[in-house]
Amino acid sequence: MNWLPLQISVFILMSGVLTFLSRKSLRSRTSHGFTRFFAWEAILALLVWNAPVWHDNMFSIRQLASWALLFTSPVVAISGLRALQAVGKTSELRQDDALFGFERTGRLVTTSIFGFIRHPMYSALILLAWGIYLKGVNPWTTVLVVLASLAMWFTARRDEAECMAYFGEAYGDYMKTTKRFVPYLL
């Protein structure tokens, strides 16, 4: 079966959805949402490209590593979202249109998963990207996973600048005690 026409169609359709969701961020090139959009696009391209080989060699080491990353990704994301909702509390004082509602936290969250890493949702996206990448490793997917990872790194840097501007020195102190994506390492 020739998957390419379906892959292109799905990519175009889902890119439209991502563009719609990111429309406010895309108007602000300095927002973290601007670079996050490109990470999402790279992850989408990985997903669409690797869909036909998703279940090839199901019990290979590469596939098992892929599944481990894919199952860990939502756990990390949900843990981060719950902590933001429970502790961060949405604030009307943060009127930045480029932010999603859950990102408009009025309090700095330093507990739960945020006690170990500053960006659990970005970590989850990196885990997702690498999990999808391992489904079908080739030069094209290697470029895409590196682009997704770099876009997430730039996104985190921009997000940190926004948090420093909003939370001030408290965020700077927090940055000294946590890692960006991987506890104790990175």
- Supply the pLDDT for residue 149: 97
Can you tell me which residue has the tokens 């599944």?
67
AA letter at 33: G
Would you state the pLDDT for residue 89?
76
Among 114, 117, 147, 113, which residue's Cα sits nearest to residue 130? 147
Residue 114 has what DSSP assignment?
G
pLDDT tens digit sequence for 109-142: 999 999 999 999 999 999 999 999 999 999 999 9
More confident residue, 106 or 160: 160
Distance between CA atoms of residues 128 and 67, nearest Å: 10
Per-residue pLDDT tens digits for 76-102 = 999 999 998 888 877 776 777 777 777
Instruction: Give yes or no for residue 42 having a pLDDT over 90.
Output: yes
**Is the distance from CB of 162 to CB of 32 less than 8 angstroms?**
yes
User: What does the pLDDT read at residue 68?
Assistant: 97
Which pTM does this prediction carry?
Answer: 0.92
Question: At 174, is the pLDDT very low, low, confident or very high (cuts 50, 70, 90)?
Answer: very high
* Domain map (residue ranges) of the chain: 4-177
Q: What average pLDDT does the chain have?
A: 92
Q: Yes or no: say if 42 and 129 are a contact pair by the CB < 8 Å rule.
A: yes
C-beta of residue 77 within 8 angstroms of C-beta of residue 124: yes
Range 141-163 average pLDDT:
96
What letters, b where the CB count within 10 A reaches 16 and e where it falls short, cover 129-143? bbbbbbbbeeeebee
pLDDT attached to residue 91: 72
